[in-house]
């Protein structure tokens, strides 16, 4: 597996950090709660690595939201939620007390889809401005499966590449103990495109 150099990692980490700042502001407005974010991690992962991260039963994702990235580089945005977070986000989006939702129904999925699109647009707008290239997000695809969303992840990204540059972030709502994992994925060839754009912007 090819290694990412530190300059590329640093640029992608900063892009993810800026994107998550905008995403957190957008999410805070949607749910009317304080939102915290962590420091992004940048890794080069195979499909098996990505699925392996989903094997922990306690933190297993049961809801996935995927949006394709097109434009100057190909990739995807993947939001993953464990069971408690999927239920609590459903409550927040439906303006219900936390603990009301016990099963994610079609109406909840629609709200999660709308949330995913708004968050990804806010994130990608900031990333575009920082990197200086044009990246567009497609229509969100949502799946909820209490047995896990491994198959969903595979279906959504397996045709893109065998390995992926992954910018991994977590977003946390302290008042509800809800979190979601936010991943920006690119095919490895995108690294050169992104770094060329970043260097060009830095040099004016």
Give the pLDDT confidence of 26-70 residue by residue, as tens digits: 999 999 999 999 999 999 998 888 887 665 666 689 999 999 999
User: Do residues 83 and 61 lie in contact, with contact meaning Cβ atoms separated by under 8 Å?
Assistant: no
pLDDT, average across residues 155-180: 90
- Confidence check: pLDDT of 25 > 50: yes
**Class of the CATH domain delimited by 6-199:** alpha beta
User: Do residues 51 and 61 lie in contact, with contact meaning Cβ atoms separated by under 8 Å?
Assistant: no
- Confidence check: pLDDT of 1 > 60: no
Distance CA(25)–CA(180), nearest Å, equals: 15
The CA-based angle 79-85-86, given to 5 degrees, is: 70
SS3 letters for 83-123?
HHHHHHHHHHHCCCCCCCCCCCCHHHHHHHHHHHHHHHHHH
Distance CA(186)–CA(166), nearest Å, equals: 7
């Amino acid at each position: 597996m090819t290694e990412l150099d530190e300059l590329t990692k640093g640029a992608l980490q900063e892009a993810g950090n800026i994107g998550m700042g905008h995403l957190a502001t957008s999410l805070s407005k949607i749910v009317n709660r304080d939102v915290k974010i962590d420091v992004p991690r940048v890794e080069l992962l195979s499909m098996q690595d990505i699925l392996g991260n989903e094997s922990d039963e306690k933190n297993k994702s049961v809801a996935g939201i995927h949006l394709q990235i097109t434009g100057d580089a190909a990739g995807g945005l993947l939001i993953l939620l464990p069971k408690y977070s999927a239920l609590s986000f459903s409550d927040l989006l439906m303006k219900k007390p936390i603990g009301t939702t016990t099963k994610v129904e079609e109406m909840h999925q629609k709200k999660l889809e709308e949330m995913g699109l708004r968050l990804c647009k806010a994130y990608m707008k900031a990333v575009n401005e920082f990197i200086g290239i044009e990246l567009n997000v497609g229509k969100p695809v949502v799946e909820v499966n209490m047995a896990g969303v491994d198959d969903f992840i595979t279906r959504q990204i397996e045709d893109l590449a065998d390995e992926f540059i992954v910018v991994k972030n977590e977003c946390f709502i302290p008042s509800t103990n809800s979190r979601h994992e936010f991943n920006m994925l690119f095919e490895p060839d995108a690294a050169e495109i992104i770094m060329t754009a970043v260097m060009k912007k830095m040099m004016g």
